[in-house]
Amino acid sequence: MKKLLTVLLMVALTAGVVFAEGQQEAEGPWSPTKGVEWVVTSSAGGGSSIFTQNIVEIMKNEGIVEKNIIINYKTDGGGAVGRRAVSMMKNEAHTLLTFNSGDLQPLVTREGGDLDGLTPLAVMALDGQIILANYDSPYADMEALIAGLKGGDRIIVGGSKSDDEAIYNAMKSEIGGNMEYLRSDSTGEALTQLLGGHVDIAIAKPAASFDLVSSGELRPMVSAGATRFADPFDAPTFGELGYDIEFQIYRGVVGPADMPEEAVAYWSDALAKVAATSAWKENYINKFLLVDHHLGAEDAKAYMQKFEDMYTK
Amino acid sequence: METITLLLQGFGTALTIQNFLAAAAGAFLGLIVGAMPGIGSLAGVALLLPLTFKFNPVTGIIMLSAIYYANMYGGSYSSILINIPGDGPAVMTAIDGHPMAKKGEPGKALFTSNLSSFIGGTIGIIILTITGPALARLGLKFGPVEMAALLMVAMTSLGWLLGDNPTKGVVSTLLGVMLATIGFDIVVGTPRYDFGSLHLLGGISFIPLVIGMFGFSQVMEMMEPRKQGDSVDMKLTLKDSILNKSETRRLLGPAIRSSFLGTIIGILPGAGATTGSFLGYITEKKIGKNKDKMGTGILEGVAAAEAANNSAAAGAFAPLLSLGIPGSGTGAVLLGGLLMYGLTPGPRLFQNEPEFTWGLIASLYVANVITLIVALSIIPFLIKILKVPVKIMVPIITAVCIMGAYSASNSLYGVMLMLTSGFAGFHLKKNNYPIAPLLLAFVLAPTLERDFRRSFIISDGSPWIFFQRPIACGLIIFLLLTILSPVIRKGIEAVKKSRTGTTAQ
Amino acid sequence: MKTLKANTRVIIPSITFILGIIWVVYGLNNYGWWENGPGSGFFPSIIGILISGISVIAFLEGRKMEPPQYIKASYYPFLAAFATVGMAMIIGFFPAMFLFLQGWLKLYEKFSWKKSLPISIITTAILYGVFAMWLMVPFPAGFIYNAIRG
């Protein structure tokens, strides 16, 4: 019985290889030959899911990709299992993975993986972070807070478990003082802590805190990016305050390491087309207050590599 | 006064034929999806959300709320009928709901569940309407310190569920706590007890665990030669499903009490519907009229759990609408849905878009009523499931367990986890280890641990923080009193006895 | 009726005892007990100590009690489910599901083809319709299908 199964399997596999090769030789530039699976390693409804859904919708509506794309939420092991599964795929052209800086960090720090296991296809957008305080905070601005820290005040910093922690670490080493980090599952949870006065300041993304800041519930203290945000998030950058802290997080797309070259070119091109549409700029970038910043496969690789170096050092 | 005018206007916009049909369709689909084990309300709402985009905003939101409610309703169906809770809150429903079905009262169990869900939802929305954003502000007062104190109170109440053999009950509870410690430790940001496995790194997923522990272990039990009277042979008609007057009266007390409790729990950040239904149930077990029969299949148990669960879901709308902060994964999806309609929940929502907001609250009422009607009308079809012979049920439930476990995270690992939990659950049950405390401890313990340790971060290592915050201090004193009350009572009795003893001499 | 002999009344507490010890050892050695507040291993270690202690009591109680009876048939669904998962990886999820249902009804319950086929076809069709088509859960198509489709 076992032998029979093995034989059957071998036949099927050989047949598959022959078929696959036959198809590739027949055409000029590569395009998907079957349905595409797009893996998202966080749950439906979150930031990555909105990002992916927007791209898929535009690909479909604008006729950029003809074949059907199915979004597959693989959340086991905090996303580790999905990332590992994609990176192990051999000669796979029909699998994509949403891959943000928040995914890269656990990949290199906890899961023993690195970018060599993946093929970056694009960076689609950048997201900034802002540090907020409650409206009734005793610290009028960041300078007052830093003065407080130097004077021995204890400051509890709230933020999410992924990207935000890097900023806290930088603050701790650059500014120093009696600071402690209260890690939350999500930015929403961190903002709840801040609104309730259980933390002194919180690190957040503008999109998640837009209404709270524009209504005056929360105050922007300092921007973690290279430049100031527009109103209502207008606050000095760390650079202006004289500290060498500058962070930006990216939202990107990757494929398995062993993705055929033609497919890499195809996807890089398709994602570039998406980034150029007005639907992308209006319904995604502007709506969620992101920074429009598209990079093709080659540049994305170099860009993500910089992040990997930062996380591993 | 202005509020009421706005609300009536909201009803004006909400009550049209088109909205009614959209809500009915949403309710029907939501019930089906909610009844599928493995597809909880989070996945259900996320999967059905795109359907609502085809309509104008008001219709779309009514349909969305109907889907949300119906998902919550549907979750109790599989708990009652086949003892497989589809999600966390439904675990408490199964404790009394499934025994009711076994006793030949599946229709009544379903009816109780639907009616109490309706009461819970209605009371939750009414509280939301009256207090509005103010309530969400109150919820914010519950930070890590207060939540830790609250959960300590909740955990000590687990004792009420331990069953006949306390030793085994405690082993079960602790096992649940241990399983929950596996994975990423949020407080320090490092993994623990993952033993090098990528799957364990993210922790044990709850849904495959529940499906295995309840559902699959049950399949294994079904293989044993059946005792007489185990299958439901009696005639099941719609008439038998309708509660009579005295039953309705029995239902009201627990349902209303639980609804108030559930709404408050729902508003607290990070507490959720599972904590709500759990606290609703144990409150009833402590103070209810039929408290001794709880767990044997009485409708008070179902009513308390379901009303609390649905009112907690309604309560969770308060922080969502007035602060723009989703209290749960499902809340995040709903928030996404509202954003799509150009509605930005947050502090300015009630001021800037009063019509839309009150229209939404009116839609919640309308959706709740329609969901109740749809849910009640499908009871006769549902109870037929119990008439399917066990021989056929075994392979079908097995197939459903596999599908559900797979769909929870789209992986065969989920199926493996489900089968392992089923194997473990079967042997635990055979040896009279209760399963419900294990699963509840699994849900409650991580929040307790996390907020307990966060409290120490806030206080810089001082345990006195639990007595410095008024809410936390009150809860801790309550906790100490409940623990010490038996001791004090015994002490008083001993003193009395010795006194009567001396007087007798 | 075939019965199995294994005294799970003492096996279960033994397993929980060992798990408790593992939790304590890892908790104390690897994860930290107290660093200006309870550390990562604080909670699990306490739980580990408690469960080990109570397992000893459960063990002693269990030794006095009559062990529960097990029959072989209880394990058939478990084994069949494992086989189905294995099959799913090769021939795809729904064909495996169908084969499981049909095989079970025909081989174990000894139903006739006429009675069993409609049940397994309809069940598979409903599951496919709800989960795969409507909810769009991506199920594995199996090695064979993947190989043929490239």
Query: Which helix H or strand E contains A97, and what residues bound it?
Result: strand A95-100
**pLDDT more than 90, % of chain B:** 14
Q: What is the domain-level CATH number for residue A161?
A: 3.40.190.10
User: Is residue C64 domain-shared with residue C78, that is, in the same domain?
Assistant: no
B329 touching A, CB under 8 A? yes
Rounded to a whole number of angstroms, the distance between the first and last alpha carbons of chain C is 49
The number of C-beta contacts closer than 8 angstroms across A and B is 129
Check residue B353 and give its pLDDT.
73
Residues ≥6 apart with Cβ < 8 Å to A46: B332
**Nearest CB to C68; choose among B39, B431, B457:** B431
User: Is residue C59 domain-shared with residue C91, that is, in the same domain?
Assistant: no
**Are B210 and B439 spatial neighbours (Cβ–Cβ below 8 Å)?**
yes
Q: A15 in the Ramachandran plot: left (φ > 0), alpha (ψ -120 to 50) or beta?
A: alpha
User: Is residue C63 domain-shared with residue C79, that is, in the same domain?
Assistant: no
Q: pLDDT-derived band of residue B138, with 50, 70 and 90 as boundaries?
A: confident
Question: CB A19 to CB C149 under 8 A?
Answer: yes
Q: Is B391 exposed, middle or buried (0-12, 13-18, 19+ CB in 10 A)?
A: middle
Check residue A89 and give its pLDDT.
86
Mean pLDDT value across residues A136-156: 91
User: Is residue A119 domain-shared with residue A152, that is, in the same domain?
Assistant: no
User: Is residue B481 domain-shared with residue B462, that is, in the same domain?
Assistant: no
**Nearest CB to B186; choose among A73, A74, A185:** A185
> Is B482 inside any structural domain?
yes
Q: pLDDT-derived band of residue A17, with 50, 70 and 90 as boundaries?
A: very low
Question: CB A13 to CB C90 under 8 A?
Answer: no
Check residue B303 and give its pLDDT.
93
Q: What token pair was written down for B143?
A: 């930070």
User: Is residue C46 domain-shared with residue C95, that is, in the same domain?
Assistant: no
A94 is in which domain, residue-wise?
Answer: 36-127+249-312
d(CA B474, CA B491): 24
Q: What token pair was written down for B320?
A: 């969502």
What pLDDT digit, counting tens, does each position of B190-207 carry? 889 988 887 888 788 888
**Nearest CB to C77; choose among B174, B190, B220:** B220
**Are B439 and C134 spatial neighbours (Cβ–Cβ below 8 Å)?**
no
Q: What token pair was written down for B394?
A: 């075994």
User: Is residue B185 domain-shared with residue B98, that is, in the same domain?
Assistant: yes
Greater confidence (B496 vs A158) lies with A158
**How far is A201 from chain B, CA to nearest CA, in Å?**
13
User: Is residue B408 domain-shared with residue B479, that is, in the same domain?
Assistant: no
Mean pLDDT value across residues C69-96: 91
Query: Which helix H or strand E contains B174, and what residues bound it?
Result: helix B166-181
Contacting residues of B for C125, CB less than 8 Å apart: none
> Is A187 inside any structural domain?
yes
Beta-strand runs (E) in chain C: 3-4, 70-71
User: Is residue C40 domain-shared with residue C103, that is, in the same domain?
Assistant: no
Greater confidence (C13 vs B501) lies with C13
C77 is in which domain, residue-wise?
Answer: 73-149
User: Is residue A42 domain-shared with residue A106, that is, in the same domain?
Assistant: yes
User: Is residue B310 domain-shared with residue B411, that is, in the same domain?
Assistant: yes
> Which three-class secondary structure state does DSSP give residue A295?
strand
Residue A9: is its pLDDT beyond 70?
A: no
Question: Which of A219, A241, A263 marks a domain boundary?
Answer: A241
Question: CB C37 to CB B395 under 8 A?
Answer: no
Q: Which of B186, B191, C123, B8 is nearest to A158 (CA)?
A: B186
User: Is residue C77 domain-shared with residue C145, that is, in the same domain?
Assistant: yes
- Rounded alpha-carbon distances, angstroms, from residue C65 to B423, C59, C62: 22, 10, 5
The number of C-beta contacts closer than 8 angstroms across A and C is 32
d(CA A179, CA A183): 13
* Chains touching A, CB cut-off 8 Å, 3+ pairs: B, C
User: Is residue B462 domain-shared with residue B487, that is, in the same domain?
Assistant: no
Amino acid at A291: V
Q: pLDDT-derived band of residue C150, with 50, 70 and 90 as boundaries?
A: low
Question: Which of A241, A269, A298 marks a domain boundary?
Answer: A241
User: In whole angstroms, how large is the CA radius of gyration of chain B?
Assistant: 23
User: Is residue A145 domain-shared with residue A229, that is, in the same domain?
Assistant: yes
Question: Residue A130's beta-bridge partner residues?
Answer: A204, A223
Q: pLDDT-derived band of residue B174, with 50, 70 and 90 as boundaries?
A: very high
B416 touching C, CB under 8 A? yes
Question: CB C150 to CB A16 under 8 A?
Answer: yes
Contacting residues of C for B460, CB less than 8 Å apart: 36
Question: CB C78 to CB B422 under 8 A?
Answer: yes
User: Is residue B328 domain-shared with residue B475, that is, in the same domain?
Assistant: no
d(CA B410, CA B389): 31
> Is B235 inside any structural domain?
no
What pLDDT digit, counting tens, does each position of A261-272 carry? 999 999 999 999
> Is A232 inside any structural domain?
yes
User: Is residue B436 domain-shared with residue B389, that is, in the same domain?
Assistant: yes
Question: Which of C19, C44, C68 marks a domain boundary?
Answer: C68
B188 touching C, CB under 8 A? yes
User: Is residue B275 domain-shared with residue B370, that is, in the same domain?
Assistant: yes
Q: Which of A242, A247, A225 is nearest to A175 (CA)?
A: A242
Q: Work out whether strand A95-100 and strand A36-40 pair parallel, antiparallel, or are unpaired.
A: parallel
User: Is residue B145 domain-shared with residue B195, that is, in the same domain?
Assistant: yes
Question: CB A23 to CB C150 under 8 A?
Answer: yes
Residues ≥6 apart with Cβ < 8 Å to B212: B401, B405, B417, B418, B419, B420, B421, B422, B423, B424, B425
Question: Which of C68, C100, C121 marks a domain boundary?
Answer: C68
Contacting residues of C for A73, CB less than 8 Å apart: none
> Is A15 inside any structural domain?
no
Question: Which of A241, A274, A293 marks a domain boundary?
Answer: A241
d(CA C33, CA B199): 25
Residue A16: is its pLDDT beyond 90?
A: no
**pLDDT more than 70, % of chain B:** 89
In this structure, what DSSP letter does residue C134 have? I
User: Is residue C60 domain-shared with residue C79, that is, in the same domain?
Assistant: no
ipTM rounded to 2 decimals: 0.92
Residues ≥6 apart with Cβ < 8 Å to B1: none
- Which of A9, A14, A67 to mutate to test binding with chain C, by most C CBs within 10 Å of its CB? A9
Check residue A25 and give its pLDDT.
43
**How far is A127 from chain C, CA to nearest CA, in Å?**
30
- Which of A19, A60, A183 to mutate to test binding with chain C, by most C CBs within 10 Å of its CB? A19
Check residue B327 and give its pLDDT.
64
User: Is residue C103 domain-shared with residue C139, that is, in the same domain?
Assistant: yes
> Is B234 inside any structural domain?
no
> Is B228 inside any structural domain?
no
Total domain count for chain A? 2
Q: Which of C82, C16, C9, C8 is nearest to C49 (CA)?
A: C16
User: Is residue B372 domain-shared with residue B501, that is, in the same domain?
Assistant: no
User: Is residue B341 domain-shared with residue B478, that is, in the same domain?
Assistant: no
**How far is C22 from chain A, CA to nearest CA, in Å?**
21
B466 touching C, CB under 8 A? no
User: Is residue C39 domain-shared with residue C78, that is, in the same domain?
Assistant: no
Residue A293: is its pLDDT beyond 80?
A: yes
Check residue B166 and give its pLDDT.
82
User: Is residue C45 domain-shared with residue C77, that is, in the same domain?
Assistant: no
Question: Which of C21, C48, C68 marks a domain boundary?
Answer: C68
> Which three-class secondary structure state does DSSP give residue B269?
coil
User: Is residue B363 domain-shared with residue B379, that is, in the same domain?
Assistant: yes
Query: Which stretches within B36-89 are classed as H helix?
Result: 41-52, 57-82
User: Is residue C136 domain-shared with residue C90, that is, in the same domain?
Assistant: yes
**Nearest CB to A44; choose among B43, B326, B458:** B43
- Rounded alpha-carbon distances, angstroms, from residue A200 to A5, A147, B105, B458: 63, 14, 55, 10
**Are B116 and B306 spatial neighbours (Cβ–Cβ below 8 Å)?**
yes
> Is B436 inside any structural domain?
yes
B268 is in which domain, residue-wise?
Answer: 2-223+245-468
C residues 49-78 lying closer than 8 A (beta carbon) to A: none
- Rounded alpha-carbon distances, angstroms, from residue A199 to A157, A158, B140, B145: 6, 6, 12, 12
Rounded to a whole number of angstroms, the distance between the first and last alpha carbons of chain B is 71
Total domain count for chain C? 2
Beta-strand runs (E) in B266-325: none
User: Is residue C89 domain-shared with residue C132, that is, in the same domain?
Assistant: yes
User: Is residue A150 domain-shared with residue A221, that is, in the same domain?
Assistant: yes
Angle of the B245-267 helix axis to the B299-315 helix axis, nearest 10: 30
Total domain count for chain B? 2
d(CA B65, CA B83): 27
Check residue B258 and give its pLDDT.
93
Q: What is the domain-level CATH number for residue A80?
A: 3.40.190.150
User: Is residue A65 domain-shared with residue A120, that is, in the same domain?
Assistant: yes
d(CA B66, CA B438): 32
Q: pLDDT-derived band of residue C101, with 50, 70 and 90 as boundaries?
A: very high
d(CA B218, CA B214): 6
User: Is residue A204 domain-shared with residue A179, that is, in the same domain?
Assistant: yes
